[in-house]
C-alpha cells in the first residue's frame, strides 16, 4: 500500500470505522482513540496490506482493539448473571429508534458487534467472520440470537407506539 492509497483509505473509511466504534461503546473519546490506533496500525503494516484489503483490515483491527478494551474494563457481563426482570420494558415509547438503541445496548458484546456490522454497516457473513475472528456459522448464530432478543425486548409494534 502506497502513501496515496493509505490516504485514500483514511478518506474513505475513517467515518465508517468511527461510527462503528461509537455505536458500539458510546464513548466519543474512546471511539476516537480506537480509530486512531487502527489507522496507526495500518500505517505500520502498510507495506504488508494490499489496498483492496484496507477496509477489512481497519475494521478487524478496530474491532479487536475494542474487544480488548472492553475486557480490560470488565464491562462484559454474562447473560446468566443478568437480572431477567430488566431485560424487557413496560414503558410506551413513540420513538422506535430510541427503543431499538436501548435494546441493542442490552445485547452481549459479540452479538451487538455482529448485528451492527451486518445491519448497520452492511457486511456479509463471511466478512463479519473475518473481522471478528469467527466462523460464518458462528456469525449467523450470534445474529439469530441477537435478533431473537431484540424481538422479545421490543415486543409488538402496538406496545412501542
Give the residue extent of every domain in the chain: 1-76, 81-161
CATH level 2 (architecture), domain 1-76:
Orthogonal Bundle (1.10)
Measured CA to CA, the distance from residue 147 to residue 98 in angstroms comes to 16
Q: pTM, whole model, 2 decimals?
A: 0.51
Measured CA to CA, the distance from residue 81 to residue 42 in angstroms comes to 38
3-class secondary-structure state, position 1: coil
Q: Could you tell me how far CA 52 lies from the centroid of its own chain?
A: 21
146 and 120 Cβ atoms separated by less than 8 Å: no
pLDDT at residue 91, rounded to an integer: 57
User: Any idea how long the chain is?
Assistant: 161
Q: Kindly report the CATH class assigned to 81-161.
A: mainly alpha
38 and 62 Cβ atoms separated by less than 8 Å: yes
pLDDT at residue 77, rounded to an integer: 57
- Could you state, in chain order, the average pLDDT of each consecutive group of 10 residues for the chain (161 residues)? 88 91 88 91 89 88 88 65 58 67 86 89 90 91 90 67 53
Amino acid at each position: 500500500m502506497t502513501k496515496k492509497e493509505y490516504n485514500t483509505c483514511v478518506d474513505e473509511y475513517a467515518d465508517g470505522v468511527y461510527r462503528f466504534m461509537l455505536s458500539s461503546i458510546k464513548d466519543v473519546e474512546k471511539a476516537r482513540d480506537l480509530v486512531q490506533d487502527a489507522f496507526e496500525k495500518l500505517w505500520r503494516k502498510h507495506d504488508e496490506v494490499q489496498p483492496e484489503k484496507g477496509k477489512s483490515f481497519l475494521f478487524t483491527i478496530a474491532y479487536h482493539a475494542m474487544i480488548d478494551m472492553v475486557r480490560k474494563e470488565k464491562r462484559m457481563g454474562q447473560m446468566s448473571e443478568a437480572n431477567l426482570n430488566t431485560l424487557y420494558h413496560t414503558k410506551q415509547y413513540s420513538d422506535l429508534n430510541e427503543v431499538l438503541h436501548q435494546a441493542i445496548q442490552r445485547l452481549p458484546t459479540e452479538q451487538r458487534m455482529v448485528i451492527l456490522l451486518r445491519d448497520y454497516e452492511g457486511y456479509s457473513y463471511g466478512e463479519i467472520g473475518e473481522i471478528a475472528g469467527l466462523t460464518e456459522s458462528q456469525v449467523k448464530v450470534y445474529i439469530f440470537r441477537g435478533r431473537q432478543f431484540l424481538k422479545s425486548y421490543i415486543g409488538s409494534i402496538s406496545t412501542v407506539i
